[in-house]
Chains A and B, each alone.
Chain A
Amino acid sequence: MRLKISHKTTYTYDKPVYYALQQIRLTPRTADGQKVLNWTSTFTGGERQVSFEDQFRNPVDLVLMAGTEKLEIVSEGEVEVEDRNGVVGMGKGLMPLWVFMPKTAATSPGPQLRKLVKPFEKQVAEDQLATMHRLSEAIGEAVEYTVGATTSATTAEEAVVAGKGVCQDHAHVMITAARLLGRPARYVSGYLLMEGVTEQDATHAWCEIFIERLGWVGFDVSNAVCPDDRYVRVAVGRDYADAAPVHGLRQGDAQEELCVSLQVQQ
């Protein structure tokens, strides 16, 4: 399927920003069942300093803001995606699998997560893939999709305790659970074509679990499916902090406001 994406992110401030750096991970890469036909990123109110591939091979732009009150990031292009039933495969990256095993700040399990995982401990030894499907369903039931109940700083355990969350929380919970079951797991941020909806208010997120002999397999807990040709992978990492579309550091006390306009179309 060919997807056309236009994504505008605007940060506005109540006064000029003295000095800020933004790492921007908003460029999809041709790999593992997706082909980027064309893509451009433009920055207004900031200057691109360097472009590089990070340790997970995500393309990154480092953008510097100095003395402006607004940063506008426009990422757009077309991507051809194959339906692989969620199977991303072994990948060609250098990052060793064990990097995706330890807990991170957002994926530290607490008692509620351990309780959630308990029933799957035996099954996972017999059939990793089937167990992950069941785990995904269980998380979907335990954590209801609710906008506004959590923030980007909410941890997996907190989301389970609240019983509510968005795609980021679902991904963090699934990652934490899979790691507790001994499977390497990673966070994916990207785009999703939604039926009947062109205008979206945020990028999407899901996760990938490493299944022996099969490689990385995607799970979108929020939509209770494995990613198909409606999904464009943009960045991966151990959790949201590694793969966030924008990660920045700002000097000064300017107040920030974020506005996103996103269209994903066929």
Chain B
Amino acid sequence: MTNGKFFDEMSEAGGAPRAPYARYADWFSGEDPKSLLKKSAEAETFFRRIGITFNVYGQSEADERLIPFDIVPRIIAASEWRQLERGIEQRVRAINAFLADIYNKQEILKSGRLPAHIISGNEAYLPQMVGVSPPGGVYTHIVGTDLVRTGENQFYVLEDNARTPSGVSYMLENRETMLQMFPELFTQMRVKPVSSYPAELRRSLSESAPPGCTSAKPTLAVLTPGIHNSAYFEHSFLADQMGAELVEASDLRIVDGKVAMRTIRGYKPIDVIYRRVDDAFLDPLNFNPESLLGVPGIMDVYRAGNITIANAPGTGIADDKALYSYMPDIVEFYTGEKAILQNVPTWRCSEEDSLKYVLDHLAELVVKEVHGSGGYGMLVGPAASKKELAEFEAKLRARPGNYIAQPTLALSTVPIMTQKGLAPRHVDLRPFVLVSPKKIHITAGGLTRVALKEGSLVVNSSQGGGTKDTWVLGD
């Protein structure tokens, strides 16, 4: 299974299964590969039937596409998960403390631990948030921390995704599919459930209601940009699963000092809005006046303390790539502890020495746009052609401050089911974190993304990645 260069999560170098996979490997050896391949095809039918599709940007013809699903689970041992949980919780606490600070007293800038220019020149910093203190000091109600693994105990945080991370519907549907296809496996192995996520989301958002909301059952709504958004399925799915209204801007208006939604019995005030609309489009009265996706005056109602916006506007400053390399300092500054999870070593191309190093080693590095997302506008040095390298070199020289570079990590592999049997492919992991004033909850599982192309290190679904069910084992 393993070619020795990469850490394979299923098999040891000699071919014996690693402990978390022992039972699975045993079960697998007793299965007929042909019937498994047949099941693989069934899974696709299942996804098509429930309508879980995904719009790919930049592909005009194939508007909606299925994200390929692989039937071999990604399995994580209880002890491995505990370590990850501690690390993620620490990081998420630090991020919320950082946001509270950066939009209020800015102690971290005054202390010199973070250079002011990282914030002052940053478009992700939202001056309209200055002086706002959301309930419980929670800014990032929902976080999707992207992790990669390079060895038995080596996990790195790739991105913090503190804006509006998507993908949780895949975590839930992938599990649903696996439960239907392989019920016997779940009786043999103690896999922690993920199905309570919608209920936990409901609890977590309810606990984040504004202080003025006295109802034991705050009114929640999911704000979607609409049916043409690539994650519309997830918006409607989550609203449905947690029993909240799915609303668009045109359903909302200001009534009696609150944001209210149209219902058959008139307008009903909303206490907590889980918005899947970007900051710039959220409020045409206060931000982009051309936006048709936003609610005029919602920021005013927010500043007056009459609604909770999840995630808070302006959280993008915390997961900005220009800030990423300072995360270990940020964790230490606010928690007083060393970061449990490692950061990927990062060269800031804005710094002259770093730029020189990056240009000299371009073919070995991954270069990312500071403000990019979804794997667009990035260079994977080892996989790039000479022409691509030359083009990127020109870009780097023209606007060095726009880029950061990282070593090409030897991402771990987990096998996928192919026509020729199991074959290793690179994976990452996005666990989903819920933050309320009362607690931080991390669902035991997450979204495992897998690069389906042999040797590829790009797992983004917009770049041909697939997904796997993620199993966290009980003790």
Interface residues of A (CB under 8 A from B): 19, 21, 23, 49-55, 57, 60, 62, 64, 94-96, 98-99, 101, 247-249
| Chain B residues whose CB sits within 8 angstroms of the CB of A53 once the complex forms | 131, 303
| Chain A residues whose CB sits within 8 angstroms of the CB of B103 once the complex forms | 94
- Please tell me which one of the listed residues A19, A96, A98, A249 contacts residue B284 in the complex, with CB atoms under 8 A apart: A249
In the complex, besides A19-B253, A94-B104, 16 extra interface pairs with C-beta distance below 8 angstroms are A21-B285, A21-B297, A23-B300, A50-B300, A51-B304, A52-B305, A53-B131, A54-B303, A55-B127, A55-B128, A57-B131, A60-B300, A62-B304, A94-B103, A99-B127, A247-B285
Counting from the closest, the 9 A-B pairs by CB-CB distance are A50-B304, A98-B120, A55-B130, A52-B304, A52-B303, A62-B300, A49-B257, A50-B257, A249-B285
| Chain A residues whose CB sits within 8 angstroms of the CB of B194 once the complex forms | none
Interface residues in B268-312 (C-beta closer than 8 Å to A): 284-285, 289, 296-297, 300-301, 303-306
A20 to B: closest C-beta gap in Å? 9
B210 to A: closest C-beta gap in Å? 12
Decide if B301 touches A50 in the complex (CB within 8 Å). Answer: yes
Decide if B131 touches A49 in the complex (CB within 8 Å). Answer: no
Decide if A49 touches B254 in the complex (CB within 8 Å). Answer: yes
Decide if A49 touches B297 in the complex (CB within 8 Å). Answer: yes
Decide if B127 touches A50 in the complex (CB within 8 Å). Answer: no
- Counting CB contacts under 8 A, is B129 at the interface? yes
Flag B230-268 by CB within 8 Å of A: 1 or 0 each. 000000000000000000000001101100000000000
Chain B interface, DSSP helix/strand/loop, else mixed = loop
Q: When chains A and B are docked, how far (Å) is the Cα of A96 from the Cα of B92?
A: 25
Q: When chains A and B are docked, how far (Å) is the Cα of A19 from the Cα of B255?
A: 11
Q: When chains A and B are docked, how far (Å) is the Cα of A248 from the Cα of B284?
A: 10
Number of A-B contacts (CB under 8 A): 69
- Counting CB contacts under 8 A, is B106 at the interface? yes
| Chain B residues whose CB sits within 8 angstroms of the CB of A94 once the complex forms | 103-106, 130-131
- Counting CB contacts under 8 A, is B422 at the interface? no
Decide if A96 touches B106 in the complex (CB within 8 Å). Answer: yes
Q: When chains A and B are docked, how far (Å) is the Cα of A60 from the Cα of B128?
A: 13
- Counting CB contacts under 8 A, is B116 at the interface? yes
| Chain A residues whose CB sits within 8 angstroms of the CB of B106 once the complex forms | 94, 96
| Chain B residues whose CB sits within 8 angstroms of the CB of A54 once the complex forms | 128, 303
Q: When chains A and B are docked, how far (Å) is the Cα of A60 from the Cα of B299?
A: 12
Closest to A50 in B: B304
| Chain B residues whose CB sits within 8 angstroms of the CB of A248 once the complex forms | 285
| Chain A residues whose CB sits within 8 angstroms of the CB of B129 once the complex forms | 55
| Chain B residues whose CB sits within 8 angstroms of the CB of A52 once the complex forms | 300, 303-305
Decide if A23 touches B301 in the complex (CB within 8 Å). Answer: no
Q: When chains A and B are docked, how far (Å) is the Cα of A60 from the Cα of B257?
A: 13
A-B contact pairs, 26 of them (CB 8 A): A21-B285, A23-B285, A23-B300, A49-B257, A49-B297, A49-B300, A50-B257, A50-B306, A52-B303, A52-B304, A52-B305, A53-B303, A54-B303, A55-B130, A62-B254, A62-B304, A64-B297, A94-B104, A94-B130, A95-B131, A96-B106, A96-B119, A96-B120, A96-B130, A99-B130, A247-B285
| Chain A residues whose CB sits within 8 angstroms of the CB of B289 once the complex forms | 249
| Chain B residues whose CB sits within 8 angstroms of the CB of A247 once the complex forms | 285
Q: When chains A and B are docked, how far (Å) is the Cα of A240 from the Cα of B443?
A: 47
Q: When chains A and B are docked, how far (Å) is the Cα of A60 from the Cα of B104?
A: 19
Interface residues in B71-122 (C-beta closer than 8 Å to A): 103-106, 109, 116, 119-120
| Chain B residues whose CB sits within 8 angstroms of the CB of A96 once the complex forms | 106, 109, 116, 119-120, 130
